[in-house]
Amino acid sequence: MDLKEQIKATLVKELDLIDINPAEIDDEAPLFGDEGLGLDSLDAVEIVVLIHKFFKAEIQDMEQGQKALQSINSLTAFIQENQ
Protein backbone atom coordinates (compact mmCIF):
# COMPACT_ATOMS: atom_id res chain seq x y z
CA MET A 1 0.00 0.00 0.00
CA ASP A 2 1.50 3.35 -1.00
CA LEU A 3 1.49 6.44 1.22
CA LYS A 4 -1.60 8.03 -0.39
CA GLU A 5 -3.57 4.81 0.09
CA GLN A 6 -2.42 4.63 3.73
CA ILE A 7 -3.49 8.24 4.35
CA LYS A 8 -6.90 7.69 2.77
CA ALA A 9 -7.51 4.46 4.71
CA THR A 10 -6.40 6.10 7.97
CA LEU A 11 -8.67 9.12 7.49
CA VAL A 12 -11.71 6.98 6.61
CA LYS A 13 -11.17 4.65 9.56
CA GLU A 14 -10.14 7.13 12.23
CA LEU A 15 -12.65 9.87 11.30
CA ASP A 16 -15.48 7.32 10.96
CA LEU A 17 -16.24 8.29 7.35
CA ILE A 18 -18.48 5.25 6.96
CA ASP A 19 -20.01 6.18 3.60
CA ILE A 20 -16.66 6.82 1.91
CA ASN A 21 -14.50 4.23 0.18
CA PRO A 22 -10.81 5.23 0.45
CA ALA A 23 -10.21 4.22 -3.18
CA GLU A 24 -12.86 6.71 -4.34
CA ILE A 25 -11.23 9.76 -2.70
CA ASP A 26 -9.87 12.12 -5.35
CA ASP A 27 -6.24 13.04 -4.60
CA GLU A 28 -6.87 16.68 -5.61
CA ALA A 29 -10.31 17.13 -4.00
CA PRO A 30 -10.45 19.55 -1.07
CA LEU A 31 -10.61 17.89 2.34
CA PHE A 32 -12.80 20.66 3.80
CA GLY A 33 -15.98 22.42 2.70
CA ASP A 34 -18.89 21.19 0.63
CA GLU A 35 -16.69 19.76 -2.12
CA GLY A 36 -14.46 16.75 -1.60
CA LEU A 37 -14.68 15.08 1.81
CA GLY A 38 -16.61 17.89 3.49
CA LEU A 39 -14.61 17.81 6.71
CA ASP A 40 -14.80 20.57 9.34
CA SER A 41 -12.48 22.30 11.82
CA LEU A 42 -12.87 19.56 14.43
CA ASP A 43 -11.76 17.03 11.84
CA ALA A 44 -8.71 19.23 11.13
CA VAL A 45 -7.61 18.96 14.75
CA GLU A 46 -8.07 15.21 14.64
CA ILE A 47 -6.10 14.93 11.38
CA VAL A 48 -3.16 16.80 12.94
CA VAL A 49 -3.12 14.22 15.75
CA LEU A 50 -3.45 11.31 13.29
CA ILE A 51 -0.59 12.56 11.12
CA HIS A 52 1.65 12.67 14.16
CA LYS A 53 0.50 9.31 15.52
CA PHE A 54 0.52 7.24 12.33
CA PHE A 55 3.04 9.01 10.09
CA LYS A 56 5.43 10.66 12.59
CA ALA A 57 5.08 14.08 10.95
CA GLU A 58 4.13 17.12 13.01
CA ILE A 59 2.19 20.14 11.83
CA GLN A 60 3.75 23.04 13.73
CA ASP A 61 1.31 25.92 13.18
CA MET A 62 -1.88 27.10 11.48
CA GLU A 63 -0.11 28.29 8.32
CA GLN A 64 1.64 24.95 7.85
CA GLY A 65 -1.63 23.15 8.57
CA GLN A 66 -3.61 25.15 6.02
CA LYS A 67 -1.08 24.27 3.33
CA ALA A 68 -0.81 20.59 4.29
CA LEU A 69 -4.53 19.94 4.77
CA GLN A 70 -5.76 21.10 1.37
CA SER A 71 -5.98 17.69 -0.33
CA ILE A 72 -4.62 14.15 -0.20
CA ASN A 73 -1.79 15.26 -2.51
CA SER A 74 -0.77 18.16 -0.25
CA LEU A 75 -1.00 15.97 2.83
CA THR A 76 1.13 13.28 1.19
CA ALA A 77 3.77 15.85 0.19
CA PHE A 78 3.82 17.27 3.73
CA ILE A 79 4.30 13.83 5.29
CA GLN A 80 7.06 12.90 2.83
CA GLU A 81 8.92 16.15 3.60
CA ASN A 82 8.51 15.93 7.38
CA GLN A 83 8.78 12.27 8.35
Helix (H) or strand (E) holding 18: none
pLDDT digits (tens, 9 = 90+) for 50-78: 999 999 999 999 999 999 999 999 999 99
Contacts of 36 (CB under 8 A, 6+ apart): 26, 29, 30, 71
Decide if 35 is inside a domain. Answer: no
pLDDT digits (tens, 9 = 90+) for 21-58: 999 999 999 999 888 899 999 999 999 999 999 999 99
pLDDT of residue 3: 97
Decide if 62 is inside a domain. Answer: yes
pLDDT of residue 36: 86
Decide if 45 is inside a domain. Answer: yes
Decide if 13 is inside a domain. Answer: yes
Closest alpha carbon to 54 in 16, 1, 3, 18: 3
The answer to whether the CB of 47 falls within 8 A of the CB of 41 is: no
Alpha helix (H) ranges present in the chain? 3-14, 41-55, 62-68, 72-82
Decide if 34 is inside a domain. Answer: no
pTM over 0.85: yes
Decide if 27 is inside a domain. Answer: no
